[in-house]
Structure 1
Amino acid sequence: IFTQQSISVLFAGQKGCLSDEQCSTREPNATCDSGYCVCPATKPLVHGGKCVEGCPEGFANIAGRCYDPTTVIFMDSVDERKNGTIGGYCLDTVVEEKRCEVKNSYCSEKTVTCQCKVGYTLSMDFKNRADKGSCKQDESSKFHAEPEPQSEPVIDDELFFVDIGSNASDVDSVNTTNPTNSTSDDDADDLTKYLFQTDELTSSLA
């Protein structure tokens, strides 16, 4: 049960509702449909976040909303296409997911027509008005390309790195902290073991 303090009140046509109360609080008789605040049949159009019977002067009813015609790009062939199909006007509903019938298409706000989503290409017989068109995935599109897995760097356990520029004081500090019973001959053997791993390093030390 929602309370006045816990619900967010939405405008007509706005997305994000979970109950009718979130819509009807601001707009009487508005209901929540698929997460959108939908206007009642008596005032089916949306204008300025409100439900209206008809669009005011200077605005046109396109797909259930009142648009300023100067902000819409009108397509030349839109009248030849059925609403809800590719190239046709979007269907009269504020529910974005229901404004176009073709899979992987969406309603473009610039043209208020159904277009293929980014990453999909149009396949349609333009001479056949009954052809709704289809949106097929473009395999070459970067929007579908999965990033290549990053390979882990190879770590060679046999490589040894010796700081040959260490100060004598550092060496003394190490010996003081970790005293050993090794002799000078043992130290020389250890030095040979770690320093002369490659011919390149040997030549550099010669």
Structure 2
Amino acid sequence: MDLSDIRREYCKDGLRRSTLPSEPIELFEIWLQQAVTAKLTDPTAMTVATVDESGQPFQRIVLLKHFDKNGFVFFTNLGSRKAQHIQEHKKVSLHFPWHPLERQVHITGVAEKLSIAENVKYFSSRPKESQIAAWASKQSCRITARSALEGKFLELKQKFAQGEIPVPTFWGGFRIKVETIEFWQGGEHRLHDRFLYTDQHQSEWNIERLAP
């Protein structure tokens, strides 16, 4: 299969320094809302990149569950591969690929665990089946067959048939404290617009245009 001729022009929009807000979260919120309004599939889906003890990078897609000036939040099994990586190397990269809008957002930062209260609040808001699935899956561990996973799910569904489901001690969230955010807008002739916000650690952001 020849991939060399698969290409298209990017011409939906542009990005100019004079129109950028001083705070990157403001622009991120606008872009996310536009992704939702455009009915993009999984607009909150983001790639989370981590590295293991040998420096080998790993990526996976998770769903963004909250964001504000304090950071970007997602939840996972605390025994999962990504959580184990974060335990060793707290620097994380996030990536939002909004292809139909010809946009990307790339974030770098440091991960920190959420409080128990924050974990409980979100876990309680999940559908009951998702709560049970969190208990049933030892994320990233090898299993013999899907039937073993389904059997455990049914067993726990019966166990938790009545009353509230407690939050597993091995499940919780991470907040990525932002260090940089890059906004990428596709441009004609591959002359894309890229702007990098860098945290100055004084409630101020340095903004630079990057070459495409």
Give your verdict on TM over 0.5.
no
TM-score by length of 2: 0.20
Q: Answer 1 or 2: which has greater strand percent.
A: 2
TM-score by length of 1: 0.20
Q: Which has the higher contact order (CA 8 A, sep 6+)?
A: 2
Q: Answer 1 or 2: which has greater helix percent.
A: 2
The structure that has the greater radius of gyration is: 1
